[in-house]
């Protein structure tokens, strides 16, 4: 049942009034596939989104739903980092001005994100 729901949500493409509209999988479908490791504030680092904006996700994977997209003008406070199942390093961040946070792939951060061994989640 879960597999069918994910496939249906991911493959949904609608024709409405002659306009092609692709639907995005629902947050609940993405959340089902999203692993959310524990995190804590172990870093004093700050950074910004690289080149435009960064997607802040609910977990350290592109399979996880986007919580918010932040522009490079926002200061991001780093908490800690993990390496996900695909071998990519992700930093847990907080966006104080937006009172939210989540996970950002280090490649989307201007300084490469949190990387110190002491800052591992």
Torsion angles phi and psi, residue 82, rounded to 5 = -140, 160
Residue 101 pLDDT > 80, yes or no? yes
Q: Which residue did the predictor score with more confidence, 84 or 10? A: 84
pLDDT tens, residue by residue, 10-44 = 333 322 233 222 334 444 444 457 989 999 999 99
What's the pTM? 0.72
pLDDT tens, residue by residue, 47-83 = 999 988 999 999 999 999 999 999 999 999 999 999 9
DSSP letter for 84, please: -
Contact 101, 92 (CB under 8 A): yes
DSSP states of 12-72: -EEEETTEEEEPPPPHHHHHHT------------EE-BSSSEEEEESSSSTTSPEEEEEET
Torsion angles phi and psi, residue 74, rounded to 5 = -90, 135
Residue 96 pLDDT > 50, yes or no? yes
């Amino acid at each position: 049942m879960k597999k069918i729901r994910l496939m249906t949500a991911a493959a949904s493409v609608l024709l409405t009034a002659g306009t092609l509209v692709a639907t995005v999988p629902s947050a609940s479908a993405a959340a089902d596939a999203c692993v959310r490791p524990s995190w804590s504030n172990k870093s004093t680092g700050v950074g910004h989104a690289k080149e435009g904006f960064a997607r802040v996700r609910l977990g350290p994977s592109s399979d996880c739903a986007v919580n918010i997209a932040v522009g490079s003008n926002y200061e991001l406070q780093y908490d800690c980092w993990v390496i996900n199942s695909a071998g990519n390093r992700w930093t847990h961040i907080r966006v104080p001005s937006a009172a939210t946070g989540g996970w950002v792939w280090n490649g989307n951060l201007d300084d490469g994100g949190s990387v110190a061994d002491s800052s591992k989640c």
